[in-house]
Homo-oligomer: A and B are copies of this chain.
Amino acid sequence: MDLSTTAYVVLGLVRVNPRSGYEIKAVVDETTRFFWAASYGQIYPELRKLSEAGLVEGVDEPTGGRKRTVYSITDAGLAELQAWLTQPPETFELRDEGLLKLFFAGALPPEESLTTLRAMRAHHEEKIEELREIEPKAEAAGGFTLMVLRGGIEFGEFFVDWCGRMERQVLATEGVGT
């Protein structure tokens, strides 16, 4: 069927209950965003494609004069989602400007790298906070939702710890060099 990964995000979310494009974006922003983001510019065209392929079905449910299309998954869509789930995952990509700055930190005195390390640590501390706020909801859902969220928290903690250790290393040795 050859769908983009984001298409499966859409399928997976309309499966648990029917949603509009706007709602999908909102759910993405407080769930999958941490490991798979999606924007409106992706979601709306994707809904149209999936609809044409018969994997989701859109029903007009206007609220007053404001138009609104709610999509639900079809049998074919569910089959497609399940088939995808049984395939081993492929993409893993990281884009971390902080690590990049550390990598090039030899172009300045070593102390300057502390700005980067502290900013990285602060960033992950904030992420942990965000995830902890969602945690009650995930606890209610249980299962894999909770597993993935707790994984995110652990990952954040790992990163915060690493930054702290590296900060101390830089402070301890003024001879880090290049």
Contact = CB atoms under 8 A, between A and B. Distances in A.
A172 B29 CA distance: 32
A123 B106 CA distance: 31
A178 interface: yes
A175 to B, nearest CB: 9
A148 to B, nearest CB: 5
A59 to B, nearest CB: 22
A107 B82 contact: yes
A12 B104 CA distance: 6
Nearest to A95: B93
Interface residues of A, number: 64
B78 A107 contact: yes
B106 A144 contact: yes
Contacts of A88: 115-116, 119
A40 interface: no
A119 B31 CA distance: 22
Given A35-B96, A142-B177, 13 more contacts: A5-B97, A8-B104, A12-B100, A12-B107, A36-B99, A37-B95, A81-B107, A84-B101, A86-B108, A89-B100, A90-B97, A91-B96, A93-B96
Interface of A: 5, 8-9, 12, 15, 31-32, 34-37, 78, 81-82, 84-86, 88-108, 110, 112-113, 115-116, 119-120, 123, 141-145, 147-148, 151, 154-155, 158-159, 162, 166, 169, 176-178
22 contacts: A5-B100, A9-B100, A31-B103, A36-B96, A36-B99, A37-B95, A85-B101, A85-B107, A85-B108, A89-B101, A89-B123, A92-B120, A95-B95, A99-B148, A102-B148, A106-B144, A141-B178, A142-B177, A143-B176, A144-B178, A154-B158, A155-B162
